[in-house]
Structure 1
Amino acid sequence: MVYITRGLATALLEFAEEAEPERFSVGLGTTPAGEFDDDEELGLPAETPVFTHFYHPDAGRSVNAVFGMDFSTPAGRTQGRFVSHPQGKLTVELTDDLHATMLVAVPPWEPEGFAAFDRRGDRQPLELLAAEPPTESL
C-alpha cells in the first residue's frame, strides 16, 4: 500500500495541469506515520512511510547547469517520484525517471487519474490521507 497526503496529491495534480502539454516530474519525500500529530489518528504503524512533500525541480537549477548534477535534492531523500503523462496512459513508461515508488497522473488531473506503481510498472494500492504532515523547521 502506498500512502500520500491529500494535500500533496492535490498540489501535484495542479503542477501537472499547469505544465500541460509538457510533462512534470518531481522527487517525493516521505514522513513516518508516527511523526504526525497525536490528534490525527492515521491508524498506521509508526514506521509506515507517507508521501508528504516534494523537491521542486527548479530549485538549484543554475548550480545544476554548471556542474551537470542535481544538487537541489538531498541524496537518498526521495523515496518516490511523481510524473505526469499529459498525452499518455496511466502507467509507468520507459522514458520515466524510475524510483522504487512511482506516482503517475493523466488528464483531466483528478484523483481518479492518479495511481501508484512500483519500478517494474506493477500497479500498487494507493490511499489518500486527509492528514497534515508535521511542520518542519529549517
Structure 2
Amino acid sequence: MTRSDDESRRVYATQGLIDLLLERAAAADPARENVVLDATPAGEFDADLGVDPATPVLTHFYLPAGRAVSDVFGVDLGTPAGRGRARFLTHPQGPAELTRRDDLAGVVLLAVPPWGTETLTAFDRQGRRLPLTVLDAEPPVESLPE
C-alpha cells in the first residue's frame, strides 16, 4: 500500500469523542456497546486541523433509541436519516477483530479491554484495519434553530 493510499483510508476522530466512548465501554463492561457515530467536515472546525477541509472527523454519537422502539417501527429512530456511517463497538471478551455478529458500517471503531486508546482499532466494513488519528480539537458548537 502506498503512502497516499494509507492517507486516503485514514480515520480521524476527536479526543473528546474517543474519551467518552471509552468511558461508556468501561461503564457497560461486561456488556457490549454498539453506538452509531457521526462526523463533521474538518473545514467546519475553528482550528486548522492540517487535513483537507472535506475530510470527515468523527465528532459525536447517537444514543441508541432502544430495542423496543426499533422492534415496533423496524428502524433505529435514534439516528437521523442519512447520518451515522460509522460505529463504535466493544468486545469485552475479545477478539480485537470484527466478527460476523458485529453490526458493520463504512468505518468501525472497535475497543477491547483495557479500555484505552492503545486497544482501540479502526476497521472498514471488510474487516481491514485502517489508520486512526485522534485529534485534540473541539468540534464546532451546534445549536437548535429557534
TM-score (norm: length of structure 1)? 0.93
- Tell me the alpha carbon deviations over residues 82-117 of structure 1, each in whole angstroms, 9 at most, x when there is no partner: 000100121111111000101000001011000100
Where in structure 1 are there 5+ consecutive unaligned residues? Answer: none
Unpaired runs of 5+ residues, structure 2, are: 1-9
Q: Secondary structure in 2 aligned to 1:128?
A: strand
Alpha-carbon distance, 1:69 to partner: 2.2
Cα distance in 1 for partners of 2:69, 2:129 equals 35
Q: 1:46 aligns with which of 47, 53, 60?
A: 53
* Cα distance in 2 between the residues matched to 1:27 and 1:46: 23
Aligned counterparts of 1:74 and 1:121: Cα–Cα separation in 2: 25
TM-score, normalised to structure 2's length? 0.88
Counterpart secondary structure, 1:9 = helix
In the TM superposition, residue 65 of structure 1 has moved relative to its aligned partner by: 4.2
Shift, 1:76, TM fit: 1.6
Measured after TM superposition, the shift of residue 41 of structure 1 is 2.0
CA distance in 1, matches of 2:87, 2:53: 22
Whole-angstrom distance in 1 between the partners of 2:41 and 2:121: 21
Identity of aligned residues (%): 56
SS at match of 1:11: helix
RMSD: 1.3
**Partner of 1:88 in structure 2?**
94
Secondary structure of 2:23's match? helix
Residue 74 (structure 2) pairs with residue 68 (structure 1): yes
Q: Which runs of 4+ in 1 moved over 4 A?
A: none
